[in-house]
Structure formats: structure tokens, C-alpha cells
Amino acid sequence: MQRAARTLFLTPLIALLALIGFAAAPAQAATWSSSDQWGTWSNGGYTLYNNIWGSGAGAQTIWANSSSDWGVWADHPNTGGIKSYPNAKKVVGKKISAISSLTSTYNVTVPSSGAYNTSYDIWDTNYDYEIMLWVNKTGAVGPLGTAQGNVTLGGHSWSVYKGSNGANEVFSFLRTSNSTSGSVDIKPIVNWIKNTKGWFGDVTIGDVQFGYEITSSAGGLDFRTNSFGVSAS
């Protein structure tokens, strides 16, 4: 009798938990998923990272079938400030002068509401310099620093901003129109920063990250990476 009573009590609770899990999961069961703040998974030379780092963040679940097939469900409140940057990362580990080619392809499905950008985040190995390439943006989001004009590089036209967050220099390239798929030739961009502008020297390129910098996604929004890859030689 006691066992039966426990079963009756747990049944609606289990149903509720199943409903919550279903809302936060992809349409089909993924190979890996995590709701942990710093949840990570390595696959095929890439590392996926849930990366909920901003204050006032809500719930977020990252899932993946591979480094090129992954996504995020996020429910962050409609407040200012970046809440998270879920991403996939490839480590290059070469000086700019030693890189003959550095390219990437992307294809994403992103929501029409919320406040976020879809971006590359490229770092030197010392984390002194950060290069952000925004391929699309929605809502009240903007780059750090001051405008430096427009430039066409790597197959795209960008509005460039230069600033500092106190820990490192930040160079932001915002695509002048939104894109959800394409390829980026990264080598001409780092060459332009180094050779044309002189903003850094022959630094070693470390991480090439790609993901979603999310400020708000109230009610729960889905971000999906349909394909992604980085090629370096």
C-alpha cells in the first residue's frame, strides 16, 4: 500500500519532469547534451562548451551529435548584458606568418526574436587579443569600442570596431547584412589587423570559436548549428 501511494505521487512529477526535459531538448535524442554552466564535450578535434558566464543568466542546454551538428536551447531573461556564449572551438596554434590558409564554413538556424549575435571569437594563445566576426545579430546588441569604418575582407563586408574590456584588446567585425550560411576566409582579416592597421604583431592564433553570444531569450529559444568547420594549414 505504501509502495502504491509512492507510485501515485511520483507519476505526475515524472510526467512534469519529462515535459520540461522535452522542451529543452532537440527534436531527437542527441549524442551528448549538458545543462551544466561549463559543460564541455570533445569531438573530432573540436571542443563544445555550454559557457554560461554572464550575471543574471537563466537556463541553457547545449546538445550535439557532432562538432558540426549541434545546438542550444536557452531561456535567459529580457535584461541587458551577455549571459552566455555556447560555442564549438578549434585550436590552430600557429603564428600568423606561418598560416598559409585559415577558412571556415557555417550554416545556422537562429530565432527571429531575442537579443543575440552569431559570431566567431578568435584568440591569440596569450589571450591578449580577441577578434569577433559577427555574421548575424538580432535585438539590442552592439559591439565594444569605437567605430573604425567599413572594410571588405574574407568574402564579406564588415563594420569594424576597436576597444578593450580591461583584460584584452577587442576587434569586432560586424557583417553589414545578416547571414545564416557561408564561408569566411579568416587569414586576410588577421593580416589586415597585423599589416594594415598594426594593432598586433605576428601573434600565434590559438582558438577559433563559433557560437551564439546570447543576451536575452526569454521563454526559451532554439539556436541550431546545421554545419560548421575550420580548416587551417
pLDDT digits 0-9 by tens, 93-103: 999 999 999 99
10-residue averages of pLDDT along the chain (233 residues) = 36 39 56 98 98 98 98 98 98 98 98 98 98 98 97 98 97 98 98 98 98 98 98 97
Cβ atoms within 10 Å of 164's Cβ, excluding its own: 11
Residue 26: its pLDDT value, please?
Answer: 53
**Per-residue pLDDT, 63:** 98
Kindly report the CATH number that applies to the domain delimited by 2-232: 2.60.120.180
Distance of CA 208 to the CA centre of its chain: 10
According to DSSP, the β-strands at 129-138 and 169-175 are parallel
pLDDT recorded at residue 29 = 84
pLDDT digits (tens, 9 = 90+) for 24-49: 445 468 999 999 999 999 999 999 99
- Residue 62 C-alpha from the chain's centroid: 11
pLDDT of residue 215: 98
Contact 189, 131 (CB under 8 A): yes
* pLDDT for the residue 28: 60
Predicted model pTM: 0.88
Whether 157 and 85 have beta carbons less than 8 Å apart is answered as no
Contact between 197 and 189 (Cβ < 8 Å): no
- pLDDT tens for each residue of 101-123: 999 999 999 999 999 999 999 99
Four-point Cα dihedral 14, 20, 25, 26, nearest 10: 100
User: Would you mind telling me the total number of residues written for the chain in this entry?
Assistant: 233
Provide the 3-class DSSP secondary structure of residue 222. Answer: strand
Delimit the domains of the chain by residue range.
2-232
**Single-letter residue type at 85:** Y
